[in-house]
Copies of this chain bind each other. A is one copy, B any other.
């Protein structure tokens, strides 16, 4: 009797699914557009933003599908594309799964939209400044402090000139900023910050990578973390604003000359 069964409720429980507590929502499905394209975009976004680093294993298909809120069939279509593109590799069997093998290369196509640049950059300034101020005003737990510092440290990676290194730096950098957003405890802010950060990354992919900036950038991160741990909300806000403005200048400099 009990056939092979499948999917869903097994005694192994679901507490893992609830991690994000965000996407969930049993009955409500999600996007239409091309649910398929949306799914790919969603996966690429997660990878670019450092949610899954190279070498990490994605959740099982059934679980991932639930998180993104699409059917497994659709998810598999998307994964299949990513596999062809060489972004992930898949192994069957128990202990198998889908692992990230490379960071997706940027879509350097698409013309530059100045409206998009302006919008993304200004919205980011708002969100990150607010996030920094709020987190600095909070009392962080030991674990939270550690998470924050760890995210900051990881940005100081050995950095070559390969596209791969650069993408990895972007992912780690994004993760640092998103960590701050998460620490606000305001889910809407976290989500908006993630979306916006991804848009910024897409723009950064269109300009040359300035190595000199990396160290400067990391130093700013360090000071920001310090201000946060010191509960100096105004300093944190100012530093975050300066940091964001740096990126803004860079982008405008390269992209506004069309």
Measuring CB to CB, which residues of chain A are less than 8 angstroms from any residue of chain B?
25, 28-35, 37, 70, 115, 118-120, 122-123, 126-127, 129-130, 134, 184, 186-189, 192, 196
Contacts and interface: CB of A to CB of B under 8 A. Distances in A.
Nearest to A120: B188
A36 to B, nearest CB: 11
B186 A119 contact: yes
A contacts with B: majority SS: helix
A115 B186 CA distance: 9
Contact of A196 (B28, B130, B134, B188): B188
Contact of A122 (B37, B123, B186): B186
22 contacts: A25-B33, A28-B33, A28-B34, A28-B37, A29-B32, A31-B31, A31-B32, A32-B35, A115-B187, A118-B186, A119-B186, A122-B184, A123-B189, A123-B192, A126-B130, A126-B134, A126-B186, A126-B189, A129-B130, A130-B130, A188-B192, A192-B192
Contacts of A186: 118-119, 122-123, 126
Contacts of A184: 122
Contacts of A33: 25, 28-31
How many identical subunits does the complex contain? 2
B196 A123 contact: no
A25 B34 CA distance: 12
A29 to B, nearest CB: 4
A189 B118 CA distance: 12
Contacts of A118: 186
A79 B148 CA distance: 49
B32 A30 contact: yes
A92 B220 CA distance: 63
A184 to B, nearest CB: 8
Given A123-B186, A192-B192, 14 more contacts: A25-B33, A28-B33, A28-B34, A28-B37, A29-B33, A30-B31, A31-B31, A31-B32, A32-B32, A119-B186, A120-B188, A122-B186, A123-B188, A126-B134
A30 to B, nearest CB: 5
CB-based closest 4 A-B pairs: A123-B188, A29-B32, A126-B130, A28-B33
Contacts of A35: 32
A28 to B, nearest CB: 4
